[in-house]
Chains A and B, each alone.
Chain A
Amino acid sequence: MAEYETHEHDVLVIGAGGAGLRAAIESSAHGADTALICKSLLGKAHTVMAEGGIAAALGNVWPDDNWKVHFRDTMRGGKLLNNWRMAQIHAQEAPDRVLELEEWGALFDRTKDGLILQRDFGGHRYARLAHVGDRTGLEMIRTLQQHAVHKGITVYMECTLVSLLKDGDRVCGAFGYWRESGKFVVFKAKAVVLATGGIGKAWEFTSNSWEYTGDGVAMALEAGADLIDMECYQFHPTGMVWPHSVRGILVTESVRGDGGVLRNSSGRRFMFDYIPEFFKKETADSEAEADRWYTEKKNNRRPPELLPRDEVARAINSEVKAGRGSPHGGVFLDIATRRDPETIKRRLPSMYHQFKELADVDITTTPMEIGPTAHYMNGGVRVDGEGSATAVPGLFAAGEVAGGLHGANRLGGNSLSDLLVFGRRAGAYAADYAKSVKGPLPVAAGRLEALAREALAPFDPGGTENPYLLHQELQRTMQSDVGIIRTEHELRRAVEKIGELRARLKRVRVEGHRQFNPGWHLALDLRSLLVCAEAVARAAIERKESRGGHARDDHPKPDPAFAKVNMVVRKDGEALRVSAEPIGEMPAELKALLEG
Chain B
Amino acid sequence: MARVAKLRIWRGDASGGQLHDYDVPWEEGMVLLDVLHVLQATQAGDLAVRWNCKAGKCGSCSAEVNGKPRLMCMTRMSSLDTTQPITVAPMKTFPVMRDLVTDVSFNFEMAKRVPAFKPPPRPPDGKYRMMQEDIDRVQEFHKCIECFLCQDVCHVIRDHPENKKVFAGPRFFVRYAALEMHPLDTNDRRELLKEQMGLGMCNITKCCTEVCPEGIKITDNAIIPLKERVVDEFFDPVRWVWSKVTGGGSKEG
Contact = CB atoms under 8 A, between A and B. Distances in A.
Most chain B CB within a 10 A radius of its CB, from A42, A96, A209: A209
A35 B122 CA distance: 30
A243 B30 contact: yes
B139 A107 contact: yes
Nearest to B55: A249
Given A49-B53, A210-B52, A114 B129 contact: yes
Contacts of B76: 357-358
A68 to B, nearest CB: 19
Contacts of B51: 209-210
Contact of A518 (B29, B47, B111): B47
A519 B53 contact: no
Interface string A129-157: 00011010011001000110110000101
A48 B177 CA distance: 22
Contacts of B47: 518
Interface stretch (B130-138, B159-167, B192-200): B130-138
Contacts of A44: 52-53, 58-60
B108 to A, nearest CB: 7
A209 B54 contact: yes
Contact of B52 (A107, A211, A246): A211
B215 to A, nearest CB: 9
Interface in A14-62: 40-46, 48-49, 58, 60
Contact of A48 (B31, B46, B53, B185): B53
B24 interface: no
Given A103-B119, A132-B142, A146 B50 contact: no
A104 interface: yes
Contacts of B60: 40-41, 44
B242 interface: no
A147 B116 CA distance: 8
B117 interface: yes
A467 B40 CA distance: 11
A48 B57 contact: yes
Interface in B104-141: 104, 108, 111-112, 114, 116-117, 119, 122, 126-132, 135, 138-139
A156 B40 CA distance: 26
A114 B130 contact: yes
Nearest to A520: B46
Contacts of A365: none
A504 interface: no
Contacts of B244: none
A101 to B, nearest CB: 11
B135 A107 contact: yes
Contact of B56 (A102, A209, A354, A467): A354
The bracket for how many chain B residues form the interface is 35 or more
B143 interface: yes
A245 B31 contact: yes
A139 B142 contact: yes
B228 interface: no
A357 B132 CA distance: 28
Contacts of B190: none
A110 interface: yes
A511 B45 CA distance: 6
A370 interface: no
A41 B104 CA distance: 9
Interface in B39-77: 40-42, 45-60, 74, 76
Interface in A388-406: none
Contacts of B142: 107, 132, 138-139, 142
B122 A103 contact: yes
Contacts of B29: 242-246, 359
Contacts of A282: none
Interface string B137-171: 01100111110000000000000000000000000
B101 interface: yes
Given A132-B139, A516-B48, A246 B54 contact: yes
B50 A40 contact: yes
Contact of A109 (B108, B129, B132): B132
B52 A512 contact: no
Nearest to B121: A103
Contact of B112 (A40, A149, A180, A250): A149
Interface string A512-533: 1101111110000000000000
Given A211-B52, A246-B29, A515 B98 contact: yes
Contact of B41 (A114, A150, A468): A468
A221 B48 CA distance: 30
A593 interface: no
A466 B46 CA distance: 12
Most chain A CB within a 10 A radius of its CB, from B46, B54, B99: B46
A150 B187 CA distance: 14
B183 to A, nearest CB: 9
A515 B40 contact: no
B45 A468 contact: yes
Contacts of B210: none
B127 A115 contact: yes
Given A105-B182, A515-B13, A354 B55 contact: yes
B185 to A, nearest CB: 8
A113 interface: yes
Interface of B: 13, 27-31, 34, 40-42, 45-60, 74, 76, 97-99, 101, 104, 108, 111-112, 114, 116-117, 119, 122, 126-132, 135, 138-139, 142-146, 179, 182, 184-185
20 contacts: A41-B50, A44-B59, A45-B52, A48-B57, A105-B117, A105-B179, A105-B182, A133-B139, A138-B57, A138-B142, A149-B111, A210-B52, A243-B29, A244-B29, A246-B31, A466-B41, A510-B46, A515-B98, A518-B40, A519-B45
Interface of A: 40-46, 48-49, 58, 60, 96, 99, 102-105, 107, 109-110, 113-116, 132-133, 135, 138-139, 142, 146-147, 149-150, 155, 157, 180, 209-211, 242-246, 249-250, 350, 353-354, 357-359, 466-469, 472, 510-513, 515-520
Given A209-B51, A246-B31, A519-B45, 12 more contacts: A41-B60, A41-B108, A44-B58, A58-B127, A103-B122, A138-B57, A146-B114, A243-B30, A250-B55, A354-B56, A469-B41, A515-B97
The 8 lowest CB-CB distance pairs between A and B, nearest first, are A243-B29, A512-B46, A519-B45, A114-B129, A468-B41, A105-B117, A516-B48, A150-B116
